[in-house]
Structures are given as C-alpha cells and as structure tokens.
Amino acid sequence: MTFWKSRQGGKRVLMLLENSHYPGDTRVYKEARALRDAGYQVSVIAQRETGSDSPYHQVIDDVQVYRFPLLAEGSGFLNYISEYGLAMAEIFLLSLVVLVRHGFDIIHAANPPDLFFLLVAPFKLLGKRFVFDQHDLSPELYDVREGGKGHPIVRWALLAMERLSCRMADLVIATNESYKAIEMARDGVPESRIVVVRNGPDLDDFKPVEPAPGLAQPGKTLIAYMGVIAVQDGVDYLLRALDCLVHELRLDDFHCVVIGDGTALPALKVMAERLGLSDYVHFTGWVQRADIPSYLSAADICVAPEPSNALNDHSTIVKVMEYMALGKPIVAFDLPEHRYSAGAGAVFAQPNEELDFARQIAALLADAGLRQKIGQAGRARVEANLAWSQQAKALVEAYGRLTARAATGRPASGLNTNLGVDDQ
C-alpha cells in the first residue's frame, strides 16, 4: 500500500503549515520547491486564506496542496485554543487523505503553533520521520505581544510544547545560530540533530526592477519600510524616529512609505497624525508579493526598526536581506541578528534609541555616495553568503542524511549540521 511502504526511497514529504497559506508563506514555498527539485515528492497542507476562492486541493509546480478553512479566529487565550484545536483536527484529517492518496515518509511541520507533535505522534509509530522547522520562538513572541505581562502558566505551556516538538523531531531546522543555541540549551537537542537554514532571499525574485510610479516625490529622498505591521515590528519606533528627524534635527527633505498591513496599522496611522507626520508618511496597506521589488526599487533608504527585545534579539528579519538583495542601504537598530545579516550593508543605531535612529537616517540623507557604497556591500553579501540557493543546499543535504539513515534503519542522531554558511 502506498501509505505503508515508500517506492521512492523514503523521499515523500508532507509539509504542514497552520498559521499561513501556500504559496503565500515564502519560506515554506521555497523549501517545498527545493525539495521537489532534489527529487522529493512533496505535499503541503496549509490554511486557506480568509476570503480567498483558492481551491481546497490544487497542484502548484508539481506540489500537491491541500487547504483547510480557518473555522475559528480571534485574540485571547481561549480563542487561540479554539483556533488551534480546530485547525489541528482539520490538518490531521487532511494528513490521512494525503497518506492514502500520495503517501509520505517525512512530516515537515513549521511553527507556530508548537502543537504538531500531537499530530505527528501516531505517524511516528508507523515509522514516519519528523522535521520540526522552528520559524518563531513562541514563548518570546507571547511575552512581546503581551508587553511582558503574560500569564506564567501560558508561558510554561509554550515552553513545554517547544521542548516536546524539538525532542520528538528527527531533525530540527533553525533559522539562525541564535535559535540553534536556544534549541540546544533550553530544549536539550543535540547539535547533531540541528541544521541552520537561514531565510535567504531568492535572487531570481528579488532583484532591482523598474520602480513603481507615484512613490518618489521631486526633491525628496524616499525612505521605505516593508513587512508585517504588528506590535513586535517596531513601526512605532520608526514614527518616533521620523518625529525626531523633523522636529529635532530640522530635516524635511524626505518622504517615507510604509508598505504592508497588520494588527498595529490603525493605531500607527493615528500616531502619525498626532506626531504631525501626515505630510511625511504614506501607508500603502497590503501589497502583492510580486509587486514588492518594484516598490522597494523606488526607495533610496530602507529601514528595519525592530526594537531590542527577547524575540527580536534572537530572530532573523527577512526584510533585511530582501533590502540587501535590491542593493538598498539600511538603517537598523544594532541587534545581534541584524548585525550578522546585514554586515556592511547597514548603518546601526543604538538599540531602541529613536533619536540615534534618526541621526543614522540623516547621515544617509546627506550622502548619496555613502548610500550607494552601503547598498553595493549589502548586495555583495547576499550573493556571497545569504542567497536562498545556498540555504536550499543546506536543507537538501540535511534531508539526504535523514533519508539515508531511514533507509538503513539507523537513528537520525548522527546528522552532520555543518551544512550552511559560516554563521557567526
């Protein structure tokens, strides 16, 4: 039977994604394509985007995609339990469908939530392998969203779920060395079972193109922010820095475009008006992924205003490397992973100091030659070390070792993790 014994040497993968949709989640999309290109049969179960007319089953680039509707959604602990509980039930039922129709040997689950170990457990009894792809540190994310006032029992539960997910996994994928260190120290995962696969940009998708019309203003330097707009993303720090730029440094020869959407956007629009920045800041709202390179190509300076906190100090921010891929100079707070990702492709402000952030912007506003030099350094760093083509190689090599050990019946604990670029 196809679901019991693989005819493809253990190279059938089921990828699980609860909190986003496919192909909208660019990391999972790139991982699925990399595995497909390496000869794996790939199926994906993902959320059906709210309001979308996407079919519940679709084949995209030879990847079988199954979607489930989000039956519950909202904020608050009880709403999260309802959402995740119903979603896990839907994903489990679809997993059985995939098992019968296509079969799978490996379950590759991306967090959040850190609940997939519950779903994976019965399949492990059938000899399936589990890859845990840790996109976020859920305990730290909870702390930041709750302003450090979250319930200790909830945080304890999140830590326990993270630990169980990591320990059940035959392979843990970390997005950077900071996550890897936490997985080893906090979750007790041997280094031999972790591989670092960074969030590198695909240079076929992120390259300079014709700038989108209507963004640049005559005589104004264009500053751009691109990404999700939630409490942890620091757009409020950006607005306060622009306030310093205008009202303390007395500079007005710029315009700022904020590209993206999220839960914090309404409050930030009110904040911009209150700070007297309406003439300086334009919020575009949500933009199609395919249009982002043209929006960013219009920018002279790009910003990454994520503040220092328990989450951001350990996290790689994807936008930083996407800015670099387009050759854009960056202003960012001096966080460990910002510093590693950007290198000479950014200028750094003291963490959480809005006035210093404004001063770094001012330095770039005043020197077009410096902007060009920093932008070129960023593009060169991506090409040399951080592009997705290099990260995909690390992913495929780790999978090769996993499937080779499965074929011989040996445990996965002997994985060699020195597969990616020389992180830190």
Residues 396 and 369 in one domain: no
Q: What is the pLDDT of residue 419?
A: 37
- Across the chain, how many H-helices and E-strands are there? 14, 14
For the chain, the domain total comes to 2
Q: What is the pLDDT of residue 423?
A: 37
Cis amide bond preceding 112, omega within 30: yes
Residues 154 and 28 in one domain: yes
- Read off the tokens for 23: 């192909």
Q: Find the CATH number of the domain harbouring 378.
A: 3.40.50.2000
Residues 381 and 399 in one domain: no
Residues 113 and 172 in one domain: yes
Residue 400 lies in a domain: yes
Residues 266 and 369 in one domain: yes
Structure-token match 């005043």, residue found: 366
Residues 20 and 100 in one domain: yes
β pairing state of 254-259 and 221-226: parallel
Rounded distance between C-alpha atoms, residue 346 and residue 357, angstroms: 12
Residue 3 lies in a domain: no
Q: What is the pLDDT of residue 387?
A: 96
Residues 186 and 255 in one domain: no
Residues 304 and 177 in one domain: no
Residues 139 and 251 in one domain: no
Q: What is the pLDDT of residue 52?
A: 82
Residues 125 and 146 in one domain: yes
Residues 292 and 182 in one domain: no
Residue 43 lies in a domain: yes
Q: What is the residue range of 350's domain? A: 221-385
Q: What is the pLDDT of residue 70?
A: 84
Residue 366 has a CB neighbour count (10 Å cut-off) of 12
Residue 421 lies in a domain: no
- In the chain, the amino acid numbered 362 is A
CA torsion sign for 262, 266, 268, 269 is positive
CA dist 11 to 61, 77, 102, 124, 170, Å?
17, 38, 12, 16, 15
Residues 157 and 248 in one domain: no
Residue 212 lies in a domain: no
- In the chain, the amino acid numbered 322 is E
Q: Which residues, given as ranges, of the chain have pLDDT below 70?
A: 1-9, 72-78, 407-424
Residue 206 lies in a domain: no
The model scores a pTM over 0.85: yes
Residue 401 lies in a domain: yes
Q: What is the pLDDT of residue 61?
A: 95
Cis amide bond preceding 69, omega within 30: no
Residue 2 lies in a domain: no
